[in-house]
Structure formats: C-alpha cells, structure tokens
Amino acid sequence: MSLRVHHVSISFREKGKIFQAVQDMSFDIEPGSTVGLVGESGSGKTLTALSILNLLPKEALVTGEIEWEGQNILAMSQPKLRAIRGKEIGLIFQNPLASLNPVYTIGNQLIETIRLHHRELSVKDARDKAIDLLQKVGISDPASRLSYYPHQFSLGMCQRVVIALTLSMQPTLLIADEPTASLDVTVQAQILDLLCAIQAEFNMSILLISHDLGVIAQTCDHVLVMYRGHIVESGPKTEIVLSPRHPYTQALFAAIPSIHLDRPVAVKAKIAEPISPFDQPTGCVFCTRCPYATDKCRTQSPTLEDRGASKVACFFPLG
Amino acid sequence: MKLPLSAWVSIGLLGLFFVGSLAIQWPLKMDAQSFDPNLVGGPLSPSFAHIFGTDDAGRDTLLRCLSGAKLSLSIGLVSVMMATSIGLAVGLVSGFSPRWIDAGVMRFVDFVMALPTFFLILSIQVLLKPSIWNVVVVIGATSWMGTARMVRASVLSLKERPFILVARARGLSSRRLLFKHILPHTLSPVLVSAMLGMGHAILTESVLSFLGLGVQPPCPSWGNMLEDSLSYMYQAPWMAIAPGMCIVCVVMATAVIGDAWQERIQQI
C-alpha cells in the first residue's frame, strides 16, 4: 500500500492574513521503504505528518490530495478515517511521556488499543498480546510492567511502549515524528535499531521526520529536505548525503556539530533575519540566507527539477 | 491516605452526624419522640434527661437536631450531586464542542451566573408549594455553573495535550476520547468543589427553612429550629445554640475536608 502526497498546501488564516505553512508539497512513499523528512524547526514537518492522518487543527486550510490506496484521505468521512488511523497508518510522536495518558497504566492503554481494532479479542487475549508486544520492543519482565504508569518509565522505555502501542495494530505505514529527539544518543541508536528491525519484520513503510541528519542518514532510503514549507531537495539517501546540491542541504550538513575541530565548513547559511511567517518573499524561499543568492534568486522562484538522481529547487545547484 | 488531623476530625464529625441521625431513626426508634410535645411543655433547660434542653413544645432539642441532620445532609448531598452532574455535562460538552457551540453555552452559563440566585430560589419557593424536593432541585439547578466553567477550562487545555492527539491518531472515537481520556483528569477538582458546594447547599437550605420557605414544621430542620428559637432567644438560648452549632460544624467540616483534598491533589 503506498501513500501519494500530491500538491499539498497547508495554510492558516489569522486576522485576514494568510500564513503559508506548507506549499505545494508532493512525494510518494512506496511499500517497505523509509522516507526521511528533514528540516529545521517550523519548516512544516509536523504539519505534513498530521495532514497525512487528517489530524490538522480545524483552522488549517488544506488543498491538494493525499492518496492512501487510491483514496483521498482529505475527503474521507470520520468513521472511515478512524478505521485507517492506527490500523493502517500509525503515528509516533516526539515526546513519548506526553504521548501516553498519565492516569492509566500502560497495560490499560495497550489493551484498549488492541481491542479497539480487534473487537473479537477477550481482555485476557489482549493482555497476552500486550505482553508479547512489550517483549518484542525490548521491555524486560513485560507481564509485571503492564501495571506501571507512564511516569514510572524512563523516556527511552516510554518510547518503546509507544512503539508497542503503534505496533499493536500492525500499521502498514508508520509516521515517526522526531521519535528520538528527546532521547540521549545511546538510547536514540537503540530506538532506531528497533524501528528498523520492526520494519523488516512487519514490512512497514516509514516516514521518519527529524531535524537530525545523522538519524536520517542512518535509516532512510529516500530523503526530502524541507525549508519554510517547501521541499527544496529530494533524492536517494546516498545522493543527498554524499553530494547535496541545494545550498540549504549543504548548510544543514555543515551545521552538524563535529568533534573534529578543524573540519572545513563547506557552506554556512547566514544567520536568519527574523522574517514574519506572513511575509511571502518573492523568489527562492532560501534567498535571504543563501550565500550564493543572485538577483534572479530574489525575483523568481525555482521549482523542483531533476538534477541527476535527485530533484533540486535551485537555479544554481552545487556540485 | 495522608490528610491533616483537622480533615480527619471533620470527617469524624460528619460521620457522627450521619450515624446519629440514622441511629435515632432505626435502632433507637426515637425519631417520633422528637416530634412529641412533652406534657410539661415550655422550653426546659438542659438536664440529664434532655442534654440540650427542649423547645417551647417540650421536644428534645438534641433529637430534633439529629433528625434535622438527616434532612440537611441528604439535601446537601442530593443537590450537590445534581449540580455536579449538570456542571460536568455542560462543561464537557462546551469544552469539546466546536467554538460556536462553546460560545453559546458559555453565554448561557454567564446568564445563569448573573441571575440573583437567592431571590430566584425565594420566588420559586413562594410560587410553588415549599417542599423538600423543591429545595433540592432549586439548589441543584442554581449552583452548577462554577463546576461547568472549571470542567470546560480543563477540557480545553486537556484536548490540546499530545496524548489526546496520539490517541486520536490511534483511531479512537471522540466519545471514547472524551469519556475515557479527558473526563478522569477533570474529576479531582470537581470533587473538591462538590465538597465545598455541599456546605453551601446546607447553608442555603437552613436560610430557606429559617425564612419558612424550606422544610416545613413539624418536620425539624436546623433552619426552622432556628426560626422557632427566635421568640425564646432570652428565655431559652439553647434552642438557638444547638442547631446553630450543627450548621457551623457541618459547613466548617465540609470546607476543611475540601481544602485538605485540594492540597492533596496539588501535591501529586
């Protein structure tokens, strides 16, 4: 089952002004593949994720089409949406502790979710399944952990529980919105390994959203780079990592902190002048921060065009 | 459960009233006696036979106070249950509905809040025949607004919490979200305000009965006992002191318990 995001724009209207959060975004996710979505905070990554589940706040104006198995999610009825949410498309959120209801034990939440989509299961069967799942995500002594409340787990363990919750419905597409952002590096690696292992076992496709290029490079097949609501570069991981063509992608790589103090820096984005989100600059979205920007960049906006194996939205792609 | 001593004393006090009011009715079968005029008549001062003295008709004040406790406590309890249910329902609906419904419901709440509640109660009691059920319904129907606002406020903040969004992403229906994942979070403060509201309801009942618009004689209530005592203020002060102390004790007790509970919630 594949996902096709087709010319999706998301905007908000506030006091008569329009704030374009995501503009004309298109991408596909093939079954079994892992697609990474990178970009800085506020670039529209999370909105994209929410729009795929049609969970955007009511104020959001969405145009375009999001096709799941040939059906437009944006035009679906609520009962149909509920059947897809969780069961076919799962969501893992950034902060695992906040993703769990603090007043219920994790056993309660697991069993609720399992029985929501498998009504035929008895509470006892659902409990057995919950224990199975906890084992699968690497939680020791799962039977007794069922009676734990979320706050009794560490963040890493919590994220494992959230993953177990999502897995309980065996979605075919998993949207992981910064799944490792609040975890320390070793736990981060464990969680990423777990996601990869699960993907192989259940043959899921994953949309991995992150601001961390290291995470993306470690896991994804295909990478989308977002800047201020636009996809500026899109291509196979190897292309993007080894020969980034958009100045913004290069700047992102240059911004990775390194323990090699003398590492040469290829491109450095200028420190951004604060721009009001309501201002739609003419020309390329990145021109205000691009060290190579010319007059053409400031007046005309580039579109995504094939450059070798990847697509780049830049008049003067590098490399 | 860890509560301060004052709260335990208050719980004990309420329990004492509760047990006492039941005891005179069933095992001791003394309830009838509290209505029976004593042949000697006149207010008798406290003695071993009548610890709190008797009233002008020679009826035992202690027994009448305990009999009144049954009424006051049940009126307090039932009217608070009614107010809390209405408040919860209105708050949940308002907080979870689209903005225009929310706005409409809240303006209605503002309107009810702006009504001079006590005069409303008075006029209803005057227009309808005063009865215990009227008292309960009227108190319940005019004291739910605080709860409604409180519940709405917590629903508004809860529905933006990530776990609600994630639960929605798991395919939960709105009804399930509301009742299973939002409602339990709002309950603790609601229970505290219900406890405080009970004291308020008991006070309102006393005032109504005092004015002769609540519980009707010969059925004893703390309020109408106070009214009876008015004309004997100097000859028989115990007639006023006993029911007055009952009111003060019970209202204080509910307030102390409510406060202690609130402290405890905030610690968690």
Joined tokens for residue A146: 């069922």
- Stated pTM of the model: 0.76
The pairing of strands A3-14 and A173-177 is: unpaired
Percent of chain B with pLDDT over 90: 12
Residue B31 has pLDDT above 60, yes or no: no
**A93–B162 C-beta distance less than 8 A:** yes
Q: What is the pLDDT of residues A152-166, one digit of tens each?
A: 998 888 888 998 888
Lowest mean pLDDT among A82-86, A99-103, B38-42, B244-248: B38-42
* Strand-pair category, A34-38 with A61-68: unpaired
Residues of chain A neighbouring B170 (CB-CB closer than 8 A): 85-86, 90-91, 113, 116, 165-166, 169
Minimum distance, in Å, between the CA of residue A82 and any CA atom of chain B: 4
Chain B residue with CA closest to A52: the answer is B169
In a 10 Å sphere around its CB, with 0-12 CB exposed, 13-18 middle and 19+ buried, how is residue A19 labelled?
A: middle
Chain A residue closest in CA terms to B98 = A58
State the pLDDT at residue A250: 85
To probe the interface with B, which of A46, A101, A106 has the most B CB atoms within 10 Å?
Answer: A101
Please check the confidence at residue A47 and state whether its pLDDT lies above 70: yes
Question: What is the model's pLDDT at position B30?
Answer: 59
Lowest mean pLDDT among A203-212, A276-285, B69-78, B80-89: A276-285
CB proximity list for A305: less than 8 A, separation 6 or greater: A311, A312, A313
Cα-based distances in Å from B35 to B31, B48, B58, B59: 7, 19, 9, 6
Q: Around B149, how many Cα atoms within 13 Å sit in the side-chain half-sphere? A: 12
Please say whether the beta carbons of B250 and B17 come within 8 A: yes
DSSP string, A187-228: HHHHHHHHHHHHHHHHT-EEEEEES-HHHHHHH-SEEEEEET
**Using CA of residue A17, residue A23, residue A24, residue A26, what is the dihedral sign?**
negative
Instruction: Give the pLDDT score at B148.
Output: 92
Q: How confident is residue B40, by pLDDT bands cut at 50, 70 and 90?
A: low
Question: What does the pLDDT look like over A163-214, one tens digit per residue?
Answer: 888 888 888 999 998 888 878 888 888 888 888 888 888 888 999 998 888 8
What's the CA gap between A251 and B7, in Å, rounded?
A: 63
Residue B149's pLDDT band (cuts 50, 70, 90): very high
Task: Report CB contact under 8 Å: A95, B163.
Answer: no
B162 close contact with A: CB closer than 8 A = yes
B162/A99 touch (CB, cutoff 8 Å), yes or no: yes
Average pLDDT taken over every residue of chain A: 85
Q: Is the pLDDT of residue A268 over 70?
A: no
Q: What's the pLDDT at B107?
A: 93
B162 contacts in chain A (CB < 8 Å): 93-95, 98-99
Most confident region among A313-317, B101-105, B251-255 by mean pLDDT = B101-105
ipTM rounded to 2 decimals: 0.80
pLDDT for A267 equals: 56
Q: Is the pLDDT of residue A266 over 80?
A: no
Any idea which residue has 């929310």 for tokens?
B102
pLDDT band for B88, please (50, 70, 90 cuts). very high
Residues of chain B with Cβ-Cβ distance to A68 below 8 Å are none
Tell me if B170 and A165 make a contact (CB, 8 A cut-off). Answer: yes
Q: Tell me if B98 and A99 make a contact (CB, 8 A cut-off).
A: no
Find the helix or strand (DSSP H, E) in which A164 lies: helix A155-167
pLDDT(B21) > 60: yes
pLDDT of residue B34: 55
**What mean pLDDT, rounded, does chain B reach?**
81
Chain A residues with at least one Cβ partner in B under 8 Å? 50, 53, 55, 58, 82-87, 90-91, 93-95, 98-103, 112-113, 116-117, 162, 165-166, 169
Give the distance from residue B197's alpha carbon to the nearest chain A alpha carbon, in angstroms.
26
What residues of B are in contact with residue A102 (Cβ under 8 Å)? 163
Q: Where are the beta strands (DSSP E) in chain A?
A: 3-14, 17-29, 34-38, 61-68, 71-72, 89-92, 173-177, 205-210, 222-227, 230-236, 305-307, 310-312
Cβ within 8 Å, pair A82-B172? yes
Q: Closest partner residue to A55 among B98, B169, B181, by Cβ?
A: B169
Q: Best residue in A99, A106, A182, A209 to probe B by mutation, most B CBs within 10 Å?
A: A99
CA-nearest residue to B181 within chain A is A101
Contact criterion met (CB < 8 Å) for A95 and B162: yes
What is the model's pLDDT at position A263? Answer: 58
pLDDT tier at B56 (50, 70, 90 boundaries)?
A: confident
pLDDT band (50, 70, 90) for residue A44: confident
Query: What residues contact residue A155 under an 8 Å CB cut-off, 6+ apart?
Result: A96, A97, A182, A183, A187
Give the pLDDT of residue B1.
62
- DSSP state for residue B179 in the 8-state scheme: I
How far apart CA B256 and CA B268 sit, in angstroms, is 19
What is the structure's pLDDT at A275?
A: 67
**What is the spatial distance between Cα B210 and Cα B223, in angstroms, rounded to a whole number?**
4
Q: Are B168 and A84 an interchain contact pair (Cβ–Cβ within 8 Å)?
A: no
Instruction: Return the pLDDT at A37.
Output: 92
CA distance A72 to B29: 74
Contact map slice: B 96-135 vs A, CB within 8 A: 98
Contacts (Cβ under 8 Å, ≥6 apart) of B174: B96
Q: Which tokens hold the place of B162?
A: 């990530």
Q: How far is A158 from chain B (nearest CA, A)?
A: 13
Say what the pLDDT of residue B90 is.
93
Which tokens belong to A86?
């969780």
CA distances from B202 to B32, B248, B249, B254 (A): 23, 10, 11, 10
A169, B171: Cβ pair inside 8 Å? yes
pLDDT tens column, B176-219:
888 888 888 888 888 888 888 888 888 888 888 888 887 777 77
Per-residue confidence band for B128, with pLDDT thresholds at 50, 70 and 90: confident
